[in-house]
Amino acid sequence: MKPEILIFIDNDYLSTSLYLYRKLHFQAAAKEGIKCITIIAKDSKNIRESSDESDEVILVDSIETSEVLCAIERLSRTYNVKGLFCYPAHVTPRGDANHVVEEVARQCGLKFYSAGPLENCNNKYLMRSQLSNVKGVKPVKFRLFNGNFETIDDLIFPVVMKPVYGGGSAFVSICDDRKSLEKAYNHFIQKFPDVPGACSFSGARKWLSSSEEGPVLYTPGVSVLIEEFIEGPEGSLECLVIDGSIHPMLIFEKMITSNTSSTVLEKVIVTPPQSFSNDQISMIVSAISNSIKALKIRNGFLHVEFKLSTDGPQVIEVNPRLGGFFVDEALKDLCSCDAYYLNVNYLTNKPVTIRHYLADDLPILPEDAIYAMLLFYPNRSGYIKAIKHPEIDSACEILSKVLPTTNGHKNGFFDVENEEAYIAKMWVRATSINEILHFHKEYEKNIEIKVSEYGEDKLMGEVLDVWDSCNI
């Protein structure tokens, strides 16, 4: 009997991948006795990391349908190919691997996530167009902007400027007037190539169309989305969609955020929400469910960001992936759901079942328990030279923590001005929201972070030594 394999298509070009998506899926697959293989282009900078995370790496000339099909045909002589996937929320300058995965999987008789709906989520301009006439969701005014300021005389400020594709809240700017918009856009043009959360997600140059306007040209590093600013408390809903059936799993509220000139820093994210009533949560779930149907998403985990405005729920983004930070831990702790195991089951054509999801009698958590994800950031951009974490006497129970993290940061550089470059994160539990807010405030106030302007060639070895010596 041939050994079973799960294949990941790596379309990244960075020397360090931005997310743990492949690694966590491969870990889940390995527990099922499934061998894990990565197919990657020969000229990729990510081959070493792919090798570290995979049982085997297959090099191809490019991530194109014909190349991947040939590689799988060769592998099938030795292995039983059970599944094929890529990171669905990462559209790179090399192209959209979702279309390659769909076509290859279709020809090989494997499960896949439809590329069209994924594109409508990943491309924020297309997403806005698809959600223009959704029941229970007020339309948001938006436009694609290519730098011609003569075309924006009719804008009503404040507005939000953001990349059409993006991750890590890179270059998300709230602009109160034309002058601040011009400043934000010029900064985007200048800094775009140096920010992984923007340039790595930028996709390729293409024509786009929406119900709001005719064909418009999208150009990476030039085009941005401008949309009206929505006032109100913000949150996110984690959903699992199985064969078109929508299962809301967990709802979070972003209790504390801060804005730099070019990004939004999320600091305290809690569940159950503190600002949403049960009736409001029901409205939010209904609006998001209608949005998911409008986007024609039939399978997969979704991380949906929203605001609760005076006019009702407003969908901000629908991301075709699990939420970041500690969302996977939250699903395990609160919903008895291993998201990566379930996704592996789907990809390998095994039954997908869930034990618990957001019910009608909301909230679902114990009344005396508040859970939170806490994020901490450097006070300025640069290379982290030393960190001293404080000992805080608190009633908060730390369930999980990462101290510090360099994942996703180019050569260890933390660009806190342009993207969510956190230095540490925690998943905690307490009996009251005040305990959580107090703990975060004290920890943030007392953490000591030394930031250097030196390049990695002069500093990174020193950084590691410091971190090791601190026993972090």
Q: What is the dihedral of CA 51, 53, 59, 65, to 10 degrees?
A: -170
pLDDT at residue 360 above 50? Answer: no
CA distance 310 to 231: 8
Q: Hey, how many other C-beta atoms are within 10 angstroms of the C-beta on 262? A: 23
Q: What is the pLDDT at residue 364?
A: 52
Residue at token pair 């167009």 = 129
Would the pLDDT of 63 be above 90?
A: yes
Each residue of 147-172: pLDDT tens digit?
A: 999 988 899 999 999 999 988 899 99
State how far the Cα of 10 lies from the Cα of 26, in Å rounded to an integer.
13
Confidence at residue 470, expressed as pLDDT on a 0 to 100 scale: 38
Cα(29)–Cα(53) distance, rounded to whole angstroms? 12
Give the helix, strand, coil percentages of the chain, each rounded to 5: 30, 30, 40
- Which of the two residues, 17 and 268, has the higher pLDDT score? 268
Whether residue 413 is predicted with pLDDT greater than 90 in this model: the reply is: no
The dihedral sign for the CA sequence 221, 226, 232, 238 = negative
Q: Are 352 and 435 in contact (CB under 8 A)?
A: no
Going along the chain from its start, the domains and CATH numbers come out as 4-112 (3.40.50.20), 141-228 (3.30.1490.20), 234-469 (3.30.470.20)
Q: Are 265 and 258 in contact (CB under 8 A)?
A: yes
pLDDT at 363: 45
CA separation for the pair 223, 220 (Å, rounded): 6
The answer to whether 250 and 331 are in contact (CB under 8 A) is: yes
Per the CB < 8 A criterion, the answer to whether 47 and 40 are in contact is yes
Which residues are CB-contacts of 236 (< 8 A; sequence separation ≥ 6)? 251, 252, 254, 269, 303, 304, 305, 306, 323
Under the banding of pLDDT at 50, 70 and 90, the label for residue 409 is: low
| Residue range 404-422: mean pLDDT, rounded | 74
SS3 380: coil
pTM of the model: 0.92
My answer on whether omega of the bond before 272 falls inside 30° of 0, hence cis, is: yes
In the prediction, which pLDDT does 421 show?
87
Per-residue pLDDT, averaged over 255-267, amounts to: 92
**Of 138, 132, 169, which is closest to residue 284 (Cα–Cα)?**
138
**What pLDDT is stored for residue 455 in this prediction?**
65
What stretches of 86-210 adopt beta strand conformation (E)? 142-145, 159-163, 173-175, 206-208
Q: Would you give the DSSP letter of residue 150? A: G
Mean pLDDT of 356-360: 57
**Bridging pattern class, strands 245-259 and 312-319:** unpaired
* pLDDT at 359 exceeding the cut of 90: no
In the prediction, which pLDDT does 406 show? 53
Give me the half-sphere count of Cα atoms (radius 13 Å) on the Cβ side of residue 374.
27
> How confident is the model over 191-217, as pLDDT tens digits?
999 888 899 999 999 999 876 677 999
DSSP string, 172-206: -EEESSHHHHHHHHHHHHHHGGG-HHHHTT----E
Which of 255, 263, 313 minimizes the C-alpha distance to 284?
Answer: 313
Q: Has residue 352 got a pLDDT over 90? A: no
How far is residue 203's CA from residue 333's CA, in Å, rounded to a whole number?
35
469: confidence class by pLDDT, cuts 50, 70, 90: very low
pLDDT exceeds 70 at position 42 = yes
Question: Considering the chain, what is the average pLDDT of its residues?
Answer: 89
% of the chain surpassing 70 pLDDT: 91
Task: Give the residue-averaged pLDDT of 384-388.
Answer: 85
With beta carbons less than 8 A apart as the criterion, state whether 381 and 420 touch: no
The tokens for 274 are 């503190």
pLDDT at 367: 66
Render pLDDT for 96-125 as a digit per residue (tens, 0 to 9).
999 999 999 999 999 999 999 999 999 999
Q: How far is CA 419 from CA 168, 198, 260, 264, in A?
A: 5, 9, 9, 7
Distance between CA atoms of 19 and 325, rounded to whole angstroms?
A: 11
